[in-house]
Structure 1
Amino acid sequence: MNNDKYISLVDKNGNEIEKLISEKIDIWREYVLFSELWWLGVALSIIPWIIWFFIRKKDSTDRLLYTALFVMVVSLCLDVLGDQLGVWGYRFNVIPVLPTYVPWDITLMPLTVIIILQIRPGANPLIKALIFAVISSYLAEPFFHWLQIYNLKHWRYSYSVPIQIVIYLMAHYISKRNNFASLNE
């Protein structure tokens, strides 16, 4: 393999990406920043956390935040992957350089999961996973598509259902863990 040729191509590609990102930021600054949909995104990033703070099961806060962090990481990774592969994209981003919709990944997905975990904790997790998947895939995604925030390219809402089920079931499993060693010396 010719490393010099490869390095040259990667550097050229990186420079082109930097120019496009700079252009994207300029467009975002002119058309998105402080628009109604930008404010909606900011509100959806903050207000649900404030509400959750008051309605959460207080003695499970650490466990729920641990689970929420897992959901955030998975959501962010899958969103970046989907965006980079061109199967979907987002407009009206809260933060222009992130290829994900921050309110969805850091607030709506994790909070929905941990709230459902708190409701009837003894209920069948598969049924709860299915309810979560149907709500997020057939109500939330179409709503954000209708707002023109979520841009489906090569994706269908139904494709999200099994992914959402797996995310919920993994979060359910993580929420039940209690094997934490003490950090005392």
Structure 2
Amino acid sequence: MMIVPWIIWAIFRDRRNSARIFSAGLLMMVISEILDAFGVSYGKWAYPIKVIPLATVSFSFRLSVLPVFAMLLLQFKPQLNPFIKAIIFGGFGAYVGLPLLSMMDLYKKIDWSLTYSFIILFFMYLLAHWFSRRNS
């Protein structure tokens, strides 16, 4: 989950706009790290298994899968309504990605709803979209 998304990004990225889109991906990484730290600290979810000595196992999901997926959505079909893309991003992350992590015993919801994750991911994508469209 850590390397494959970046290989996909390297193959399919738009070389003319990659710095702008990559900066939006970096913004998504920072926001997801901060929000994840809050969620774990307040006992909303946990990561039962630690593969590497980092705060959580979802490191690869937050710093690879989510930002690369967002960057690819930002790049492809730029004329498509960003709200539709945000729904796709939030739906994939919340209702596909997190349940897959749960099935692999890498993520455990404690006091959290997947709908909350959907809403957060929806707005994170819209922020990344807005950020990627800035001229400076």
- SS of alignment partner, residue 120 of structure 1: coil
Q: What is residue 120 of structure 1 aligned with on the other side?
A: 77
CA deviations 1:107-130 (Å, max 9, x no partner) are 011011111111210111011101
Match of 1:173 among 116, 125, 130: 130
Count of paired positions: 136
Q: Sequence identity of aligned pairs in percent?
A: 34
Distance, in Å, in 2 between the alignment partners of 1:156 and 1:77 is: 18
Deviations for 1:32-65, whole angstroms, at most 9, x for unmatched residues? xxxxxxxxxxxx1112112211111111110111
SS at match of 2:17: helix
2:117 partner amino acid? S
3-state DSSP of counterpart to 1:58? coil
Q: Is the 8 A contact 1:63 1:175 kept in 2?
A: yes
In structure 1, give the amino acid aligned to 2:111: H
* Structure 1 residue ranges (4+ consecutive) displaced by more than 4 angstroms after TM superposition: none
Residue in 2 aligned with 1:13? Answer: none
Conserved 8 A contact 2:57-2:106: no
> Unaligned regions of 5+ residues in structure 1, if any?
1-43, 180-185
Give how far 1:99 is off: 3.3
2:41 is the counterpart of 1:88? no
- Structure 1 counterpart of 2:115, from 155, 158, 161: 158
Deviation at 1:131, TM superposition (A): 1.2
Q: After TM superposition, list the pairs within 5 Å mapping 1:9-48 onto structure 2.
A: 44-48=1-5
List per-residue Cα deviations over 1:110-162 (Å, max 9, x = no partner).
Answer: 01111111121011101110111111111111111111101111011111111
Task: Give the stretch that moved more between structures: 92-101 or 116-125.
Answer: 92-101
Paired letter, 2:71: I
Within the alignment, does 1:133 sit opposite 2:104 as a pair?
no
Q: Quick check: 1:148 aligned with 2:105? A: yes
TM-score by length of 1: 0.70
Q: RMSD across aligned C-alpha pairs, in angstroms?
A: 1.2
Question: TM-score, with normalisation over the residues of structure 2?
Answer: 0.94
Counterpart secondary structure, 1:45? coil
Which of 33, 43, 53 is the matching residue for 2:10? 53
Alignment of 1:100-119 (within 5 A): 101-119=58-76
